[in-house]
Amino acid sequence: MQLLDGLIRDYDWGSTTAIPELLGRPVTGEPAAELWFGAHSSAPSLVGCDHHPLDQVVAADPVAALGSAVNERFRSLPFLLKVLAAAAPLSLQAHPSIPQAEAGFTREDAAGIPVDAPNRSFRDRLHKPELICALTEFEALCGFRDPAATLDVLATIGTAGLDTVTGMLRDDPSPAGLSRLLEWLLTLDQSDAAALSVPVVEACAEKRDGPFAAERAMAAALGERYPGDAGVITALLLNFVTLQPGEALFLGAGNLHAYLQGTGVEIMANSDNVLRGGLTSKHVDVPTLIDVVEANPIVPAVQRPALVGGVATYHTPVPEFSLQRIELDGEITLEPGPAILLCTMGTAEGSGHVLDRGCAAWVPADHGPVTFEGTATVFRAGVGDLG
């Protein structure tokens, strides 16, 4: 086991305080949106006193680092662990399935679009399922709400401009109808989008009480940050979820979602495929997004796993990753790696190392089980069931 230094990504929606405070560093006023722990080629973590990039450590001896089964299946570390600290909303987005990613990557390569081009939708051939576990109260949009319930929400806003939206929902509440409504919103020109969204935002800001007050407050906040963006209307079609610390959401392929505010531990497949759907100044590939988005309404499955022997295990139905939250109070032995351990509270000691709040460690497959003692909250990111 070796200590691991994560890399901070300074996206403008990031909190100026959450990650510096986790790491025990001075608050500078600059945003720190994500803290990455993994072997992603764009920002690999640094291992040990020599600060070797983790992707190079894995590549130097993949069987020792990953184990033979994981190496044979993935050829690299298949997951990325992050601390995500949002002070402002992220863009509406969805991620492709593996077949969609493979087809899209091949198509864009054939078209000669550079992998790092701003109009590129597929940067690799992988899917990007993810799970977010709240460290603080955490707000998110997650999948389409049942259209009947959405009509109830929109009825409390009451602007005439919503007549087209409500009419489309009533005429065809099927997934195909939701998909057509999403495409219509995405293809509005700037003036029509503003004519639709601005009165809705004003109405939501004025009406602070009564049923669906939280949904209206969310729309008002989005409209203040993204004036005239039809993504505000799209947001009102989605489930608005508030996670409490320790609760989590798993997001599979096609789930249209956005993280709005809060700090959490996020784990995902080691991919960078993001298809944006509004609330952003970045490229929006409307036809591809419509193909990828899963428009079947859902009720988000908020995970609240019980502690068993001090360990809460989150449901992650993919082979690339697993996540456990260990509430350490004494001693515990964790299974072998490959794994990344992240302490978010307290102090844990094991294998000659001390993990204080904000500290992380890399556990290669050939290390064997790790025994820790202390009082701490430690997240263990590992590989999922390889089946």
**Which residue numbers are catalytic?**
276
CA-closest candidate to residue 100, choices 299, 317, 294, 320: 294
Q: Which residues 6+ apart lie within 8 Å of 281 measured at CB?
A: none
Question: Residue 199, preceding bond cis, omega within 30 degrees?
Answer: no
How many helical (H) and strand (E) elements, i.e. helices and strands, does the chain have?
12, 19
Cα(201)–Cα(228) distance, integer angstroms: 9
Cα(350)–Cα(181) distance, integer angstroms: 54
268 three-state secondary structure: strand
* Residue 367 DSSP symbol: G
* Residue 160 DSSP symbol: G
The b/e string for 128-146 (b: 16+ C-beta within 10 A; e otherwise) is bbbbbbbbeebbbbbbbbe
